[in-house]
Amino acid sequence: MPKEQVHLHWASTNKQQPCFCNPEIYLNVTKLKATPETIAAIFGVKEPETIELKERENGKIIALEEGEQPVWQLEPDCHYDVHVAGCKDSLAPAVPINQIFSLFPGDTDDEKSDNIQKLSENFYGKIWNDKETPKEFQDRFISLTSSASIQAFRQYDWFHEVFGGPSMMGSSNPRKSILLPKVMAKHTSSRMTREYAITWLEIMDKSVNEEFPNEETLQAALKLYWIHFFGWFPYSDEDRREFRRIVWK
């Protein structure tokens, strides 16, 4: 493991709530600042201000350096526990990422898989055909493939695996994901601008609401996952607050 990374552990005292992602996260502090916004995004915590970091070895609270962008100064290759204070509403729903598949409507795995595919087809259908989609964003996505259906299947492929679908996509453990390196490699800085991220979230929010209007638990889990995914990219705290505003409006 690179020396510039720190170990972040989901504290077992967090209202007995299972961790939304992997219970141990390696954070490269040269690429991502250890701010409440970033750590909340990664761990699926709705309210960043409720997060507290402690040294894993002795329980010492790490002081948050205040400023325009509050940050914890963490020592590379050291271990820290992520604690969440306050009400349980600040935590993720009691469904980890790799169990979100179970929340999709359907009595069988095939029916649940079909609903994931419908979500992706709805999303990419909007990118290809919705006149309200910004042209620059549309051109960026259309240039990657020959059709909406191909791109939708690629997204479905990813969602099916990371949400814990049947083994046709490999391991349901996000840490062992076979698609993760490929997905992350495709999301270059030129594609992950603030503007593109906002457009992506707005379109996906519409698609989720259209496909699953009455599935509140599923919607909440998906919203947390979108924020979690963007958590791995070097956005500012202001950007992350805007992302949260869009999904939790």
5-90 and 97-247, same CATH topology: no
Check whether 189 has a pLDDT greater than 60: no
Q: Is the pLDDT of residue 110 over 80?
A: yes
Beta-carbon contacts of 118 under 8 Å, excluding residues fewer than 6 positions away, are 211
pLDDT at res. 169: 43
Residue spans of the domains in the chain: they are 5-90, 97-247
pLDDT given at position 13 = 74
What pLDDT was estimated at residue 249?
A: 80
Q: CA–CA separation, 201 vs 43, rounded Å? A: 18
Instruction: Using DSSP bridges, classify how beta strands 51-55 and 24-28 pair: parallel, antiparallel or unpaired.
Output: unpaired
Q: What are phi and psi of 96, to 5 degrees?
A: -65, 165
The pLDDT of residue 88 is above 70: no
The answer, yes or no, to whether residue 185 has pLDDT greater than 90, is no
Q: In the prediction, which pLDDT does 220 show?
A: 94
The number of angstroms, rounded, from the C-alpha of 133 to the middle of its chain's C-alpha atoms is 22
Smallest Cα–Cα separation from 4: which of 23, 32, 24?
A: 32
Q: Tell me the pLDDT of the chain averaged across its residues.
A: 86
Please say if the pLDDT value at position 23 is more than 80. yes
Q: Copy the structure tokens of residue 247.
A: 């999904």
Decide if pLDDT at 233 tops 70: yes
Exposed / middle / buried, residue 221 (Cβ in 10 Å: 0-12, 13-18, 19+): buried
The two three-digit tokens of residue 134, written as one number? 């910004």
Looking at the domain that runs over 97-247, which CATH code has it been given? Answer: 1.10.490.10
Question: What is the β-pairing status of strands 5-10 and 79-84?
Answer: parallel
pLDDT tens digits for range 37-67: 999 999 999 899 999 999 999 999 999 999 8
- Domain 5-90 CATH (choose: 3.40.50, 3.10.20, 1.10.1220, 2.60.40): 3.10.20
pLDDT at 214 over 80: yes
